[in-house]
Amino acid sequence: MGSLVRRRLTSAETGPAVRALCAWTPADVPGGGVHPGDIGWHLRFENETVVLWADDDGPVAVGFHDDSVLRVTAAPGADLGALAADVEELFAPGDAWVDGLPMPGWGPEPNESWLAMSWAPRPVSSRAARVEVSDAADRVLVQRSAFPNSTFSVDRWHTMNQSPAGGLAVDVLVRTPAGEPAAAVTGWFAGEGRCGLLEPVGTHADHRGRGYGRDAVLGACAALAERGASAVAVVPRSNNEAAVALYESAGFVTVRENRDWKR
């Protein structure tokens, strides 16, 4: 093992990082940090970057800034102490949080936690359909309604799907009987026999409480299982009771509670 080298990759350069994350994704819910789908959703922004740490043997860790949180996943058996020391150099004093990497001298965030929830493949019934190019505007409409601060757009949908992680995306949409877009989920494949991820999940504000969100979740899970996913993960905030109830109704079970590391 040689010295650790850190590189900041443009969107077009992220192929090695995505492939490494796929190889490191376990069969069930990862312990935190970064799933290949997190990179895929991150790359809806054309100018975003991803950090890749490598030594003489290849990739050691992958991370990116998610607002004020640096999210990191390391290769199995990686030297976490050396990685944590290098990660420290990315922050100014007093900065931020880290997800997925224990930081010496830091502590778990006391005020916020996330539930790692897992879905096991099974036969399901769902009204969800795969999102085609002609559905992109409706897919975006659901996202903008479900998350009022969202800046998602048709252009960003195309950017996401054209990124090196775009081939992992499984995008589904549920419509009302009248054809209105009601709920949408983007699922992310990490390889056969590995755990997929749902990110994001949303229901249009005009169509909540009618089972459309559950249908979209089940449709995305089924599509991931059809591609060969061994399980599907979703990671809602633990205090988001509505989201947790939705996932439980779709058959998800809580595996663990995760907390970021805070300086």
In the chain, domain spans: 5-108, 115-262
Residue 164 φ/ψ region, left for φ over 0, alpha for ψ in the -120 to 50 degree band, beta for the rest: alpha
Closest CA to 250 of 143, 225, 258, 142: 225
**What pLDDT is recorded for position 67?**
85
DSSP secondary structure of 67-118: TTEEEEEE-TT--HHHHHHHHHTTS-TT--EEESS--TT-EE-SS--EEEEE
Predicted confidence (pLDDT) per residue in 108-136, tens digit = 999 999 999 999 999 999 999 999 999 99
CATH of span 5-108: 3.40.630
Proportion of the chain above pLDDT 90, given as a percent:
93
Q: Fold match between 5-108 and 115-262?
A: yes
CATH of 115-262, one of 2.130.10.10, 3.40.980.10, 3.10.129.10, 3.40.630.30: 3.40.630.30
Average predicted confidence (pLDDT) for the chain: 95
Residue range 7-16: mean pLDDT, rounded? 97
